[in-house]
Amino acid sequence: MDNQKPVSKHKHIVLTSHPHRSAQKPAIHWGKSDPIERGPIIGTLTNANQRNAIGTHSGSYAVYRALAIASGALQANHRPDLTNTSPVVRIGPHPSWADPDRIISLDPFGAIVGEVYTQFYEQGYDIRPTIAVTKAHINMPELLDEVAKGELQIDGKILKSNGNLVVTKVAIDPVWYLPGIAQRLQVKESDLRRILFQQTGGMFPELVTRPDLHVFLPPIGGITVYVIGDVEAITDPNRLLAVRIHDECNGSDVFGSDICTCRPYLVHGIEVCIQTAQSGGAGVIVYFRKEGRALGEVTKFLVYNARKRQEGGDRADAYFARTECVAGVQDMRFQELMPDVLHWLGITRIDRLVSMSDMKYNAIVNSGIQIVERIAIPEDRIPDDAKVEIAAKQAAGYFTPGEVPDAIALAGIKGRGLEE
């Protein structure tokens, strides 16, 4: 075929699945407080001899990068020009950064590699940031509705009269320290590595052939943090902190689907964050790309059909069972890894946790963070068709300040049919 374009002069494949000359490979000592002692994490592909991590940067977007290179749009040896990309707000270092058990699923130095690893850059090392910190205005129409109802106040600084909300936002790519992940999940590291290798279709041979490499950049979605108010207030024991941990639900969060409470609860979390920030504290929204309890949207939509078509229609008492039938489990989110981002922010106490999930609550408390108060979604924010979900969750032990539905009540809570 003569219409194919040559994409790279270097067609040989460098296998990294076995240890080789690696004088250039910096050692990683996970959990060291000094970034030089800890060592930079290098997952870039421009120089195989420098690599000290398995996998590569940008999570699942690495596959799009491969397409860009394959199609000739991007040079394989491109190095980013990082001029003016450094964080706009300083976060850390916090004592938790130096605790090898506290943070195992992100690189605490990920935002400041350009600052702490200058000597490596001068020697030609290709070190990429895994965290970026910027500022923005966001605007969600529900916030102005709450202003009109008198539930929220415009202050002109945090919440502006046009409904714009001033935020600091942080994007975080996952960086896994495998011994720590294994310990957190209470499995053997060798089993974890073997199953990660097998269940990605053998995508990362180094998981099983390179026990000398302990850091893995997994091809999964990351985290976005929205901070409302003064970032300094997050770690100030004399100021209040509100937090919502939100797992992605594209259908509701973006498109306003009425089958669940995700967007209304996210908005309520933001409101509590605004009120807390306006009283001198801060609010933190942590948004995880764990669509549909980390089962993905295809599974999620299959479950919707199974729920709506089952005998007796969509019922709260069969809500979890339908998910389990399709996915094999009710949930794949592994909240055990979730508190890492809170520790990265230096959080030791949450005054208002805007969440009803016991899994999240327990994971946060077990990681050593104090929770003072839990805030449920207000009744009037729950869409009609989402009553199935919320009742099922309450009956399963999710936090609720109201009555927990019993078996009879649960069987009576029904959602719309598929064609309605």
Kindly indicate which of the ranges 13-21, 184-192, 204-212, 246-254 contains the residues binding Zn ion, using the contact rule CB under 5 A: 246-254
Residue 364 beta carbon to Zn ion: minimum distance, rounded to whole angstroms? 21
Q: Which of 28, 192, 228, 249 binds Zn ion (CB under 5 A)?
A: 249
Identify whether 93 is preceded by a cis peptide bond (ω within 30 of 0): yes
* Residue 133, beta-bridge partner list: 170
Residue 295 interacts with Zn ion (CB under 5 A): yes or no:
no
Determine the Cα–Cα distance for residues 125 and 45; give it in Å rounded to an integer: 11
How many residues belong to the site for Zn ion (CB under 5 A)?
4
Residue 275 beta carbon to Zn ion: minimum distance, rounded to whole angstroms? 24
Q: Which of residues 329-358 bind Zn ion (CB under 5 A)?
A: none
Q: In residues, how long is the chain?
A: 420
Q: Is 102 a catalytic residue?
A: no
Q: Which of residues 186-205 bind Zn ion (CB under 5 A)?
A: none
* Residue 315, beta-bridge partner list: 414
Q: Which of 175, 241, 262, 341 binds Zn ion (CB under 5 A)?
A: 262
Residue 287 beta carbon to Zn ion: minimum distance, rounded to whole angstroms? 13
Determine contact, residues 349/369, Cβ cutoff 8 Å: yes
Which of 107, 253, 314, 331 is labelled catalytic? 331
Determine the Cα–Cα distance for residues 234 and 228; give it in Å rounded to an integer: 10
State which residue, 109 or 265, has the beta carbon closest to Zn ion. 265
Of 34, 41, 150, 94, the residue nearest 369 (C-alpha): 94
Determine the Cα–Cα distance for residues 217 and 177; give it in Å rounded to an integer: 9
Determine the Cα–Cα distance for residues 307 and 330; give it in Å rounded to an integer: 14
Of 89, 183, 182, 205, the residue nearest 136 (C-alpha): 89
Residue 323 beta carbon to Zn ion: minimum distance, rounded to whole angstroms? 12
Angle between the 189-199 and 178-185 helix axes, to the nearest 10 degrees? 100
State which residue, 111 or 262, has the beta carbon closest to Zn ion. 262
Determine contact, residues 73/148, Cβ cutoff 8 Å: no
Residue 260 interacts with Zn ion (CB under 5 A): yes or no:
yes
State which residue, 234 or 376, has the beta carbon closest to Zn ion. 376
Amino acid code (one letter) for 388: V
Burial category of 258 from C-beta neighbours within 10 Å (exposed 0-12, middle 13-18, buried 19 and up): middle
State which residue, 260 or 376, has the beta carbon closest to Zn ion. 260
- 3-state secondary structure at position 214: coil
Kindly indicate which of the ranges 51-59, 258-266, 298-306, 360-368 contains the residues binding Zn ion, using the contact rule CB under 5 A: 258-266
State which residue, 115 or 379, has the beta carbon closest to Zn ion. 379
Kindly indicate which of the ranges 49-57, 92-100, 256-264, 411-419 contains the residues binding Zn ion, using the contact rule CB under 5 A: 256-264
Number of Cβ within 10 Å of residue 265's Cβ equals: 26
Kindly indicate which of the ranges 135-143, 192-200, 250-258, 275-283 contains the residues binding Zn ion, using the contact rule CB under 5 A: 250-258
State which residue, 252 or 278, has the beta carbon closest to Zn ion. 252
Which of 244, 333, 352, 374 is labelled catalytic? 333
* Residue 216, beta-bridge partner list: 54, 176
Residue 252 interacts with Zn ion (CB under 5 A): yes or no:
yes
Kindly indicate which of the ranges 159-167, 174-182, 261-269, 341-349 contains the residues binding Zn ion, using the contact rule CB under 5 A: 261-269
Q: Is 92 left (phi over 0), alpha (psi -120 to 50) or beta?
A: left
* Cα distances (Å, whole numbers) of residue 284 to 111, 113, 234, 243, 244: 18, 24, 8, 5, 6
Residue 262 beta carbon to Zn ion: minimum distance, rounded to whole angstroms? 3
Residue 407 beta carbon to Zn ion: minimum distance, rounded to whole angstroms? 25
State which residue, 261 or 278, has the beta carbon closest to Zn ion. 261
Residue 249 beta carbon to Zn ion: minimum distance, rounded to whole angstroms? 3
Determine the Cα–Cα distance for residues 218 and 105; give it in Å rounded to an integer: 10
Q: Is 333 a catalytic residue?
A: yes
Q: Which residues bind Zn ion (CB under 5 A)?
A: 249, 252, 260, 262
Active site (catalytic) residues: 331, 333
